Amino acid sequence: MVKPATPPPKRRGRQRSVAAEAAILKATLELLGKKSLNDVTSEDIARKAGVSKATIYKWWPNKNLVALDAVGARLAIDLMVPDTGSAKKDFTRHLKDTIVFYKSPMGRQLCQFLAGGQNDPEFLDLFRKRFLKPRRDSLLVIWQRGVDRGEIRREFDGELVLDLIFGPMVYRLMAGHGPLDEQEAVAITEAVFCGIALPIDD
Amino acid sequence: MVKPATPPPKRRGRQRSVAAEAAILKATLELLGKKSLNDVTSEDIARKAGVSKATIYKWWPNKNLVALDAVGARLAIDLMVPDTGSAKKDFTRHLKDTIVFYKSPMGRQLCQFLAGGQNDPEFLDLFRKRFLKPRRDSLLVIWQRGVDRGEIRREFDGELVLDLIFGPMVYRLMAGHGPLDEQEAVAITEAVFCGIALPIDD
Amino acid sequence: MVKPATPPPKRRGRQRSVAAEAAILKATLELLGKKSLNDVTSEDIARKAGVSKATIYKWWPNKNLVALDAVGARLAIDLMVPDTGSAKKDFTRHLKDTIVFYKSPMGRQLCQFLAGGQNDPEFLDLFRKRFLKPRRDSLLVIWQRGVDRGEIRREFDGELVLDLIFGPMVYRLMAGHGPLDEQEAVAITEAVFCGIALPIDD
Amino acid sequence: MVKPATPPPKRRGRQRSVAAEAAILKATLELLGKKSLNDVTSEDIARKAGVSKATIYKWWPNKNLVALDAVGARLAIDLMVPDTGSAKKDFTRHLKDTIVFYKSPMGRQLCQFLAGGQNDPEFLDLFRKRFLKPRRDSLLVIWQRGVDRGEIRREFDGELVLDLIFGPMVYRLMAGHGPLDEQEAVAITEAVFCGIALPIDD
DNA sequence: CCGTAACCGAGACGGTACGTCACGTCTTCCA
DNA sequence: TGGAAGACGTGACGTACCGTCTCGGTTACGG
């Protein structure tokens, strides 16, 4: 799956089992709903998927990448970006949704992956490419629209804007040092858009 | 050390070896400069400190908490907060310094700890209490001064302000999806203070 | 090996490595020739056998039972019982051989096992079943022939006869309080067969 | 205790605590009634005796020798040898008593010591000198009387006679492969005195 | 009658082996 | 020839007991 690329052009012998792959991803996803990434063992996955451990390692170089695919495949679906006509509203809306999802047991994976990536640069890289990048690219659309409509100042890089908005969420998700709910989402976008400085209304 | 609490004024029996504790923390710190937290084994620490593994486990429930103490003890020193007369300048200054430190090999620990904490709530909790909290409390002073001087709007919670400023840094440190240097530090505080929205008026 | 029971006619998956098992037993045997049973560590065995410690513990519950199998497998070979036509000569002959063997560095295992068994009833039980019993059963043949030929009084239990002959040897082997050589072997069987009492010749 | 030898001619400083020593021996003895020798840890003894571990190691080189002293001190008392006028009766009587004692929970120490001695020649040596030798010397008296009275053939060494009688018991105590009771005691001495061979004459 | 040496309890220490766990690889047989 | 079963080597884990070593404090001799 990591390198699906070209669909197999027909090979001799038994063909790769699509069922096995699906079972592996499904099992991984379910397990990740219950345990943290590194409490899920490769044997857990194999057993639950009714699959051999060797089959897993045949197609993925390690456990983490299985999880990445499992979560990635799933989230590819629900990538939809609001378009209310206001960048601020769009960001607020998306931030709220994102927070709700990532706080759910099924959604802690973002943190798990970031955590896993700290000890595995290769994995972190893939995580960015296959997980983060697509989402961020979608969100950049909001930013671009905002800039185009004259809602957002041009001098700030789009990437930076995303980090200004989602960085605080990521921080709180990972460190858990403060509340994280719809109210915070509103406050964050409000602050990012309007700034925390008092107008120097001399 | 994890629970030093009240240092008992006089205890019977052989006193806990200060040398051993110091050696453990020192060794841990040095090892953390070279390897990631979970590549440092308890035996590494024991060997390098010239200490028995059992001694480590007598005082710390696991390796992570040793590392926490090691780093904590060290950083307790260099907690100093700028005071230029401008909250924005103070935050910018501190953000720059912090970025430099956390990007150094010796400073990756913040990420390691956040990563470790994802699989160990108890550890995460302690990390917040003993590592995060003191730093944040110090930084709140900057915010408070800003509010008092009329530089910062009262309606934003101080904790939120910290996350607005440091969240983006944490995010980039952990995910590595974008650059992180002095220039970014300036851009972040600029954006957080002034907002990314275009003034509507003209 | 500890519970080979019925060798399953065909099993799925990778078969248990005969080479590994043989290497383990061989290594154990060699180590036992040099050190006492409890100076031989499981890591010694693993290293010398080029095998993982986990593999050892997969098949044997502990080190002692490995040793038991190692020695047992070896001694299964040289179980041969003399048949000179005289029970007394047979016993004497066998006692001599046995003494020579058990006094050799490679043969101290009987004592090691008896020693180990004092702290582990389960091990002692297995030692009896897999080590002692077969040897004693073989030796009972000598006794039976003696009874059949009218050389030995019927009123003594065969088991008791074995203990009368081998008990003194075991005692001296373990306690080391007296010499133990061919001469003693002769004296023991002589005494056991003819008694130490003076005939009341009147 | 191990080397009391000459009572100290008066030393400066605090005197050795008789109470501590007694407590250690008492505690050891009680623990040996419940657990096997090497399940009794030095800390068990220290705790139960209300004594410091260092105090133990100050006077005894290791745990086993403490146990030896503990048991030795106790058994020094009940060394009494029957004198019925018949060596065979005397031996039978003593064998019965001995079996009863050694089969009791408190009396398993003989086996424990022999077991412990297999890995510690020095300990085994001391065990022989301080435990075995005195008992055997006492029992030799029975043998000597038997010889003097013309009950026992002169050509057998006294030491050998003891092993003929007590070897089977030791063997069964340690290996547990056969019953051991009064009946066996009678059978053993009967066999040893009269021999197991059928008289050839008729 | 005071100093000092030898003792004592408590308990921390370095060391060594234990048996367990998860990883990712390898081997065998079956479909 | 792909895949399930499952055994394998590796290497870290945290625990247990050993016998040693400080501590602070307690006798009791000898000056």
pLDDT digits (tens, 9 = 90+) for D151-200: 999 999 999 999 999 999 999 999 999 999 999 999 999 999 999 999 86
Q: Do A175 and B117 touch (CB under 8 A)?
A: yes
Q: In Å, what is the separation between the CA of A26 and the C1' of E31? A: 24
Please write the tens of the pLDDT for every residue from D103-116.
998 888 899 999 99
Q: How far apart are CA A156 and CA B186, in angstroms?
A: 11
Neighbours of chain B (3+ CB pairs under 8 A): A
Mean pLDDT of chain A: 88
Q: What is the pLDDT of residue B161?
A: 98
Higher pLDDT, D66 or B199: D66
Q: How far apart are CA D57 and CA B18, in angstroms?
A: 26
**Contacting A residues, span 47-106, partner chain B, CB-CB under 8 Å:** 88
Q: What is the DSSP string of D17-31?
A: -HHHHHHHHHHHHHH
Burial of C116 (0-12, 13-18, 19+ CB in 10 A): buried
Q: What is the pLDDT of residue D55?
A: 95
Please write the tens of the pLDDT for every residue from A45-69.
999 999 999 999 999 999 999 999 9
Q: How far lies D142's CA from each of B65, D61, D158, D187, in Å?
A: 69, 36, 10, 18
What nucleotide is nearest D59 when CA is compared to C1'? E7
In three-state secondary structure terms, C192 is helix
Q: What is the pLDDT of residue D14?
A: 74
**Contacting C residues, span 12-41, partner chain D, CB-CB under 8 Å:** 36-39
Q: Is the pLDDT of residue A2 over 60?
A: no
> Can you give the three-state secondary structure of chain A, one letter per residue?
CCCCCCCCCCCCCCCCCHHHHHHHHHHHHHHHHHCCHHHCCHHHHHHHHCCCHHHHHHHCCCHHHHHHHHHHHHHCCCCCCCCCCCHHHHHHHHHHHHHHHHHCHHHCHHHHHHHHHCCCHHHHHHHHHHHHHHHHHHHHHHHHHHHHCCCECCCCCHHHHHHHHHHHHHHHHHHCCCCCCHHHHHHHHHHHHHCCECCCCC
Mean pLDDT to the nearest integer, D92-107: 92
Q: Is the pLDDT of residue C84 over 50?
A: yes
**Residues 74-93 on chain C lying near strand E, CB distance under 7 A:** none
Q: Residues 6 or more apart from A73 whose CB is under 8 A from it? A: A25
Q: Do C176 and D124 touch (CB under 8 A)?
A: yes
Mean pLDDT of chain D: 90
Q: Do B170 and A172 touch (CB under 8 A)?
A: no
Q: Residues 6 or more apart from A26 whose CB is under 8 A from it? A: A49, A70
Give D106's DSSP letter.
G
Q: How many CB pairs under 8 A join A and B?
A: 178
B100-134 exposure pattern, b = at least 16 Cβ within 10 A, e = fewer: eebeeeebbbbbbbbbbbbbeeebbebbbebbbee
Q: What is the pLDDT of residue A129?
A: 92
Mean pLDDT to the nearest integer, C46-66: 95
Mean pLDDT to the nearest integer, C46-73: 93
Q: Which of C117, C127, C171 sits opposite D163 (nearest CB)?
A: C171
Query: Which two structure tokens, joined as six digits, stand for D200?
Result: 């050839």
Q: Residues 6 or more apart from B163 whose CB is under 8 A from it? A: A167, A168, A171, A172, A178
Q: What is the DSSP string of D118-139?
A: TT-HHHHHHHIIIIIHHHHHHH
Residue type, D7: P
Q: What is the pLDDT of residue C31?
A: 94
Q: 3-state DSSP: chain D helix, strand, coil percent, rounded to 5?
A: 65, 0, 30
Neighbours of chain C (3+ CB pairs under 8 A): D
Q: Which domains does chain D have, with CATH numbers?
A: 18-75 (1.10.10.60), 87-196 (1.10.357.10)
Q: Is the pLDDT of residue D7 over 60?
A: no
Give the pLDDT band (50/70/90) at residue D3: very low
The residue of chain B nearest to residue A159, with distances taken between CA atoms, is B178
DSSP run (H or E) holding D63: helix D63-75
Q: Do D172 and C167 touch (CB under 8 A)?
A: yes
CB atoms within 10 A of CB A84: 11
Give B152's DSSP letter.
B
Q: Is the pLDDT of residue A126 over 90?
A: yes
Residue C19's Cβ-side half-sphere holds a number of Cα atoms within 13 Å equal to: 3
Quickly count helices (H) and strands (E) in chain D: 10, 0
Mean pLDDT to the nearest integer, A148-153: 96
Q: How far apart are CA D174 and CA C167, in angstroms?
A: 10
Q: Tell me the pLDDT of chain B (202 aa) as tens digits.
A: 454 444 444 567 788 888 889 999 999 999 999 999 989 999 999 999 999 999 999 999 999 999 999 998 777 656 789 999 999 999 999 999 999 999 998 888 899 999 999 988 999 999 999 899 999 999 999 999 999 999 999 999 999 999 999 999 999 999 999 999 999 999 999 999 999 998 765 4
CA angle A113, A116, A121 (to 5 degrees): 105
Q: Do D119 and C198 touch (CB under 8 A)?
A: no
Q: What is the pLDDT of residue A21?
A: 87
Mean pLDDT of chain C: 90
Sequence-separated contacts (24+) of D47-56 with Cβ below 8 Å: D49/D20, D49/D23, D49/D24, D50/D23, D51/D20, D51/D23, D51/D24, D51/D27, D55/D17, D55/D20, D55/D24, D56/D24
**Residues 4-33 on chain C lying near strand E, CB distance under 7 A:** 10, 12-15
Residue B165's Cβ-side half-sphere holds a number of Cα atoms within 13 Å equal to: 31
Please write the tens of the pLDDT for every residue from C132-173.
999 999 999 999 999 999 999 999 999 999 999 999 999 999
Q: In Å, what is the separation between the CA of B35 and the C1' of F3? A: 38
CB atoms within 10 A of CB A33: 13
Strand E within 7 A of A42 CB: yes
Least Cα distance to D177 among C174, C162, C61, C147 occurs for C162
Q: What is the pLDDT of residue A202?
A: 53
Please write the tens of the pLDDT for every residue from A89-119.
999 999 999 999 999 888 888 999 999 999 8
Q: Is the pLDDT of residue C105 over 90?
A: no
Give C152's DSSP letter.
B
Q: How far apart are CA A115 and CA A69, in angstroms?
A: 16
Instruction: Give the whole-number percent of chain D exceeding pLDDT 90.
Output: 75
CB atoms within 10 A of CB B190: 18
Instruction: Give the whole-number percent of chain C exceeding pLDDT 90.
Output: 74
